[in-house]
Amino acid sequence: MKPFCIKSSVHWAVAVGVFAGSTSLAMAGGFQIHEMATRASGMGSAFTAVADDASAAWHNPAGAGFTHGSQVMGGIVDLIVPGAKYSPNASSTGVGGAAVTATAQAASNNFAVPHAYYTYMNDEYRVGATLGFNSPFGLETDWPTTGPFASKNTFSRIQMFELNPSLVYRISDNISIAGGAAYAKLTKVNLNSTNQLLSGKGDGWGGNASLLYRDEKLSFGVSYRSKIKVNIDGSATAQATLAGLGGTTSTATTKVTLPDQVNVGVAYRPNRQWLLSLDVDWVNWKTYDAINITYNSATYRTAVSTLQTAIGATATGATNDPRNWKATTAFKVGVEWAYTDHSRTRFGYVFDPTPSSDVNYSPSTPDNDRHIISVGYGYDFNEHATLDLMYGYVYFAKRNQTASPTTPAGSPNSVKNGDYKSQVHMLAASINYKF
């Protein structure tokens, strides 16, 4: 995927396999992109209680209630992704119980994730508005077609963007609130294996609400984003291995729900030079419990049933794939040091646990608990324009996958057992302009 996706080892997006619990669409959490603005990312995205630049439109729209006039921000995060690596372990077995000896590496790449924000505040009437454009979820995973689990997972992608307008009202000198709508568009979804190629697109609506309390030194913020249900329409094309129906195509439909989330933050300014922040983010990945794909062609459904019978599964002619992800709580801390009147340095750390289920794990989301370390720099050209830069490193704890089921006999699920390693480098730059 080009501008909005994230490759194999970043949290968010699409997992794919083949029929009978092996075709899946995995959304972010495992694939949520935290880095939605450069300054905030330099502080570990612990920005819910800060939210004083144009990226308040995403992190906490209520923060715009304490700004003046208009602000606009544009920027980009470049994700440099060495491909995830797989190696078999003692529990790795192929169809029929054969030992797996082959290693595999997903293709390396880098992806540019843009963001743009606008905020406006009328001090006289204490009302304002914000508008955000970004891509908070995304994935691209590209495993080799000759790999040990190619019949389960090869190329998976989700490309999306989100638009988020909000209205803001400052209740008093210390409290501001905001609420708005969110529109998510999944422009490209691909779920491929050596058995079939799947593609589709869809969109959906949600909402958000937030609050910010601020005094001279302390601020407290809460932001809520609702789930967004997306109906995906597309097509499935059988490969030659699918019951002799290579090239046969059927229209197909499925649904996915982007999770609701609550962000709670506290920020403290002990003096003019230092800003300390802490966020606790809860994401309801329980919304991603299964993927059910319906094929509209009777011939295609018969082919699917034939394959399901061959691997010892119940013949349904549809894909019914449990994922059983769990809700997660991430912790973020950030520091900003204004060592001159126009220059600032930032540091951040994030611990983000994986939502994925051990039993229902998929190589299309080679995810595990991740640690993110970031450093940032900000420079004011003048009272209007600020340049922000950031570097971040994402380390995924090594995943020793052993729980993928080996039954029923002939099940291809056990090929997913093995050791997975991933990492990501991030570079970001943005300009914030006040007028």
Q: Which of 324, 333, 375, 374 is nearest to 354 (CA)?
A: 324
Instruction: Report the domain count for the chain.
Output: 1
Cα dist from 152 to 15, 56, 191, 198, 413, whole Å: 9, 41, 10, 13, 8
Model confidence at 15: pLDDT above 50: no
> Do residues 70 and 120 make contact, with C-beta atoms less than 8 angstroms apart?
yes
Asked, for residue 1, whether it belongs to a domain, the answer is no
* 10 falls within a domain: no
Residue 27 included in any domain: no
Query: What integer is the mean pLDDT of 183-200?
Result: 90
Average pLDDT, the chain: 87
Task: Convert the pLDDT of each residue in 166-181 to its tens digit.
Answer: 999 999 999 999 999 9
Is the predicted pLDDT of residue 127 greater than 90, yes or no?
A: yes
* Residue 94 within any structural domain of the chain: yes
| Average pLDDT of the segment spanning 278-304 | 89
Q: What would the 3-class secondary structure string for the chain be?
A: CCCCCCECCCCCCCCCCCCCCCCCCCCCCCCECCCCCHHHHHCCCCCCCCCCCCCHHHHCHHHHHHCCEEEEEEEEEEEEECCCEEECCCCCECHHHCECCCCEECCCEEEEEEEEEEEEEECCCCEEEEEEEECCECEEEECCCCCCCCCCCCEEEEEEEEEEEEEEEECCCCEEEEEEEEEEEEEEEEEECCCEEEEEEEEEEEEEEEEEEECCCEEEEEEEECCEEEEEEEEEEECCCCCCCCCCEEEEEEEEEECCEEEEEEEECCCCCEEEEEEEEEECHHHCCEEEEEECCHHHHHHHHHHHHHCCCCCCCCEEEECCCCCEEEEEEEEEECCCCCEEEEEEEEEECCCCCCCCCCCCCCCCCEEEEEEEEEEECCCCEEEEEEEEEEEECCEEECCCCCCCCCCHHHHHCEEEECEEEEEEEEEEEEC
**Percent of the chain whose predicted confidence (pLDDT) is above 90:** 60
Is position 26 within any domain? no
Encode pLDDT of 81-94 as tens digits. Answer: 888 999 988 888 76
Instruction: Tell me whether residue 24 is in a domain.
Output: no
For the stretch 50-65, pLDDT in tens is 999 999 999 999 999 9
Surface-to-core class of residue 183, CB atoms within 10 Å of its CB (0-12 exposed, 13-18 middle, 19+ buried)? middle
d(CA 410, CA 391): 46
At residue 27, the pLDDT reads 32
Domain extent at residue 334? 38-434
> Is 271 part of a structural domain of the chain?
yes
Within-domain flag for 254? yes
The Cα-based distances of 420 to 5, 218, 292 in angstroms read 21, 42, 26
Identify the pLDDT of residue 96: 61
End-to-end CA distance of the chain: 35
Q: What is the CATH number of the domain that holds 52?
A: 2.40.160.60
Least confident range from 89-98, 195-204, 379-388: namely 89-98
pTM given for the model: 0.89
Looking at residue 411, what is its pLDDT?
A: 58
Name which of 169, 149, 128, 117 is nearest 431 in CA terms: 117
pLDDT tens-digit readout, 390-423? 999 999 999 999 888 876 554 567 788 889 999 9
User: Picking from 32-36, 104-108, 149-153, 404-408, which range would have the lowest pLDDT averaged per residue?
Assistant: 404-408
In this model, does residue 66 exceed pLDDT 60?
Answer: yes
pLDDT at 154 > cutoff 70:
yes
